[in-house]
Amino acid sequence: MSPEKLSKTAIDDYLFHCQHLHKTPSESFFKHTIFGLRALYKVLGMSGQKVNLPQIKRDTKLPIVLSKSEVKSLLNAPKYLKHRLMLAVLYGCGLRSYELCDLRLSDIDFERKTVFVKKKKGIVDRYVPLSDHLARGLQKYFQSEQPQVYVFNSQKTDDGAFKPLTTRAVQWLIKECRGKIQTNKKITAHTLRHTYATHLLEDGLNIMSLKELLGHAHIETTLVYLHVANTGSSKKFSPLDTLFK
């Protein structure tokens, strides 16, 4: 039955079913179901039905952030240059894993020292700075490996076309490397993006510039890093540090 014909009880029953449909800790499917229903009722002018939908609480969990020494250890963990550069681009440019996979040779500008990140899923296009260290590593990698089309190619198809790297390959790489460094922190591709943002704030970058580099649509998404960064007038310390002075 079409959603506009459902009673409040029927909708509640369906949402209860959605919430218990998956055994994963993520409620993404449940949230998007509510967002979809809200959008539908807004278009149809059914404000009463929209009000009856449950509120979605914003996720307030703070991100896991690596120290600079942990990042150095992680970047040195892979045996091959390609794998080191994959991790270095994730951290050095603050990319999401799918953005790393979609990165093309034409997106790298060694002269202007920039990386162009194309928009996807409604996120705006953006340029991010290319580190001198990363530029030298990429140039060496391009000369030795000679990738085609994509910065990090996967296997060729049967017709000889080059395929981009997959996010599953990125996950595999990080899983292989995190066991080689001395840390108990959970590390994912997005951990490197969180670490990129936090380190930039701690190194003096302002919050609005950080928002542009991360490609966030709303400043509220970027503000979470102010709760993690230990910098400026909000630099955090323990009273034990001053107790014995």
Cα separation values, 188 from 12, 77, 240, Å: 35, 15, 33
121 is catalytic: yes
State yes or no: is 96 an active-site residue: yes
8 A C-beta contact, residue 81 and residue 134: no
> Which residue among the candidates 96, 126, 178, 194 is catalytic per the annotation?
96
Give the Cα separation of 110 and 102 in Å (integer): 18
Instruction: State residue 129 phi and psi, 5-degree precision.
Output: -65, 145
What ranges in 25-131 are assigned the alpha helix state H?
Answer: 28-43, 47-52, 68-76, 81-93, 97-102
Q: How far is CA 134 from the centre of its chain?
A: 19
First to last CA, the chain: 71
Tell me which of 91, 141, 150, 225 is the catalytic residue.
Answer: 225
| Known active-site residue 112 | no
Strand partners, 126: 117
Active-site residue identified among 193, 194, 199, 211 = 193
The C-alpha atoms of residue 143 and residue 146 are separated, in whole angstroms, by 6
In the set 20, 121, 236, 245, the catalytic residue is: 121
Which residues participate in catalysis according to the annotation? 96, 121, 190, 193, 216, 225
